[in-house]
Amino acid sequence: MKQATVVDRFAMALSGALLLLGIVVLGIVEVLAGQPYGAAPVTNDAGEIVATPFVDPTIRTGLVLAGLLVLLLYGVYRLVTPDVGEERQPTAATSN
């Protein structure tokens, strides 16, 4: 099994932090702030805005998308870089 490098740890930490911040932390902040819980503002019968979410939904979405983008870039990086730690052993040809 390959050991985690600095790039591996940084990508995992950054993407995990962005995803946790966007989903869990700001979700808890929204619940503690109270109604409305949805992304749309609450309006009355006249169409006037009565209440808006505490944290803008575009900020939460941006944080989650940034975390997924970091994971995507890390995946592309792992795909194009060779594994230098693993050396292939040449197989001996068997003769009859």
Number of Cβ within a 10 Å radius of residue 8: 14
> Into how many domains does the chain fold?
1
Domain that holds residue 73: 19-80
In this structure, is residue 32 part of a structural domain? yes
pLDDT block averages, 10 residues each, the chain of length 96: 82 96 92 80 82 86 96 93 68 64
Q: Does 26 fall in a domain?
A: yes
pLDDT of residue 86: 59
In 3D, which of 21, 14, 58, 19 has the Cα closest to residue 40? Answer: 58
**Residue 91 within any structural domain of the chain:** no
Q: What is the DSSP letter of 55?
A: S
Query: What is the model's pLDDT at position 14?
Result: 96
Q: Is 74 among the domain residues?
A: yes
